[in-house]
Structure formats: structure tokens, C-alpha cells
Amino acid sequence: MTDREQNDEPESGSQEPSEASTAELQSETYWDPPAGAGADADVEPEPRGEVARTADKRRPLVQVERLSKVFPVKKGLFGRTRLLRAVDNVSLYVRHAETLGLVGESGCGKSTLGRTLLRLIEPSFGRIVFDGEDITSLSQSRLRPLRRRMQIIFQDPYSSLNPRMTVRAIVGEALQIHKLASSRSEEEAKVEALITRVGLRPEAMNRYPHEFSGGQRQRIGIARALAVEPDFIVCDEPISALDVSIQAQIVNLLLDLQDEYRLSYLFISHDLKVVEYVSHRVAVMYLGRLVEVAPAKSLYERRYHPYTRALLSAIPVADPSKRRLRVLLEGDVPSPIDPPSGCAFHPRCPRAEPGKCDVETPALQELEPGSHHRVACFHPHT
């Protein structure tokens, strides 16, 4: 799964200071799609294990430019309001039929970023472009037709399904909202086909969520997302609440569906080996910012950023005769309400340079031109 590497389009390497004002954030010049990456660019197949996968060189399907999400936090009745920067100046893209893995510690803003991309949470600053259309400020009525093309698979299969609705109603609801079935019989046929495609029996249509196991409920969630024939799906830790034996089934199902329907995924997970298995590219997030973005093979082999090295060193080795050198970080993750100045990682970084790392914010940029491996660090491992 890690033997493939894509030809990437460039993404933003510039960053803005966390203390920037609203006017400064909104006046920034956003990065443009790379020259020559038009809609008519060639498509080259790319292997993923035994399956030939495809990731287009066309214009990115999803393009995020300097995206930030700030939550106001107030302590007490008369306390002053402070700002929690859950997502801080993030730029990334996802191509057609591509999987971008997103990893990082709990609380670093991964799920917030995924939901902000879909505008389930409204962004504070920045721009979201979906298939060439800026959707950042679209009204809900204008955004609604695009909802068909952007879906999410939630982390918790227990709370993401309405316990009072049957599987037939849960999956069929989206067909009714978007008028994708001309008759009741056509809706029934589509729901049955979706349920069968995700590995459930047709008789499951008349049952309620509490009658299913966790893995079966997640399959229902996947069927619900597929019902509207989307192009892009945010997989928000879709296997973290499942047993290990079920996790492999769900992961392989997602890969099969991507092959069949040419889906694009933002795959959010704590399981670093699974991310390596499913992803074309991987982005590492720390305290609301991206610190490293690279093709999966390149990132797992080189690990330029000290945080990435520490994160990947935690992957267990299956062979008991071998031991991995564990990189232990000191201290706790800083609060996003009061982030450190300069590089957010410098209080825990063994390579931090006083007077530089604690003052300046490193830009996300390539160390080797053309490698498509970008890191935000003044002293990366090379």
C-alpha cells in the first residue's frame, strides 16, 4: 500500500501569524491552482496493492486556502471572551479519486477541519473551493445542491443514526430530500441496492439501528453517504469505535467503493498504519496547523518534522524480535486558547532554537524542489 507515489500539485507554503487581525487575514493573497493543471489534463492509473487506483492531475476537487476556525470561549458571567483557534491557517487540496490522510493527536483540530470543509461548521477566515466553485460564502439554498456531492461518515456509528428510523428511512431520506427517486418503488430499489452493496442483507431495511452491531451500523452510515452519489467524503475516524476484526472490513469496503465510484476521501484517523494503507498523501496536524504534507511513501520513510518522527515512532512493530526507537516528547500539547508564539511545537521540540523557533512561524515548504514533501520546520531531520 505504500509503494505508490503521486505527482502532486503545489499547495500553499506561506503562513500567517496567529495574532493577525481579521482584516489582515482577509486581505491575504490566496494560492492558485498550479499552471497546466486544467480539467483536460491526462489521468494516469496508479497501483494500490493489487488494485489499480487513479488520481487525476486535473484541478483539485477540494481546495482549501488559509482556512481558520476560531471559537469564542468565555469563562464565567463577567469573564472576558478569549479565542480558541481550532484550525489555524490551513491550506490543502484533495484531487479526484484521491485519499488524503489526516493524522495528529487528539484535540489538534482534525475533525473540526473536516466539518469546516463541508461547512457543517462555518469557517472564520479563509476560502473553500469545491470543483472550481468558491463555496465559502454560499447561502444554504445555493449550497444545498452541492451537499449531494459532499458527504461525511461519522466516527460514532451509535449516535450518528436516528434510533427511531428504520434503515430504509435512514438511507432513503437523502433520496427524498434531493429528489433522486421518481417513485416509491424506485426509492425502494435504490435503498436495497445500497444496503446490499455495503454488505448487508436486504431484510435489514426494516430493522432499527439498535438491532445491529457497531460494524453493521457503520455500514449503514456508509450507505447513507453513498445514497446521494457524492464525489467527496470526509471519513471522520470511521473505524476508531469498531473492533479490530471489523476495522479491516470497513477499510477494504471504503477502498472498493472508491475504486467503483471514483470517490475522493479526507481520511481522518489515529491509526497511523491504516492511514498509510489507504492514503495517497498524508498531512500531519499539530495544534490546528499542518506541519508536514507528503506522498504517503515519502512521509513514512523520511519524517522530516520532529513531531512526525515522534508520532510515527509510536507505531507498534509486529515482530517481537525487533524494536523501534521510540521518540518521547516532553510536556503536554499547549492550549489552543493560548498557543505559544512562533512555531507551535517549539516548547516540546528537541531541536528548537531559542530566539528563532519561539519567535518566527515556519512556512510549509518543500526541502527538495519537486519532491512534493513539505514541512514547516526551521531544523528538520534530513
CA dist 23 → 27, 69, 125, 230, 333 (Å): 6, 15, 10, 35, 29
CATH homologous superfamily of 56-149+230-375:
P-loop containing nucleotide triphosphate hydrolases (3.40.50.300)
Specify whether the CB–CB gap between 196 and 219 falls below 8 A. Answer: no
Instruction: Provide CB contacts within 8 A for 41, sequence distance 6+.
Output: 56, 57, 58
Cell of 241: 469505535
Alpha helices in the chain (DSSP H): 22-27, 110-117, 140-147, 167-177, 184-197, 214-226, 244-261, 272-278, 296-302, 306-312
Compute the distance between CA of residue 143 and CA of residue 137 in angstroms, rounded to an integer. Answer: 9
Compute the distance between CA of residue 127 and CA of residue 56 in angstroms, rounded to an integer. Answer: 22
CA nearest neighbour of 191 among 117, 200, 209: 200
- Enumerate the domain spans of the chain: 56-149+230-375
Compute the distance between CA of residue 331 and CA of residue 326 in angstroms, rounded to an integer. Answer: 16
Specify whether the CB–CB gap between 34 and 69 falls below 8 A. Answer: no
Specify whether the CB–CB gap between 233 and 221 falls below 8 A. Answer: no
Taking each helix axis from N to C terminus, what angle separates 214-226 and 244-261, rounded to the nearest 10 degrees?
Answer: 10
User: Residue 330: its pLDDT value, please?
Assistant: 81
Written in H, E and C, the secondary structure of 336-373 is CCCCCCCCCCHHHCCCCCCCCCCCCCCCCEECCCCCCC
pLDDT tens sequence for the chain (382 residues): 444 444 444 444 333 434 443 333 333 333 333 433 333 333 333 444 433 344 445 689 999 999 999 999 987 777 788 899 999 999 999 999 999 999 998 889 999 999 999 999 999 999 999 999 999 999 999 999 899 999 999 998 889 999 999 999 999 999 999 999 999 999 999 999 999 999 999 999 999 999 999 999 999 999 999 999 999 999 999 998 888 889 999 999 999 999 999 999 999 998 888 999 999 999 999 999 999 999 999 999 989 999 999 998 888 777 777 776 777 788 788 888 999 999 999 999 999 999 999 999 999 999 888 889 999 999 999 8
Is the torsion defined by CA of 343, 346, 350, 352 positive or negative? positive
Give pTM, 2 decimals.
0.83
Give the single-character DSSP code of 134: E
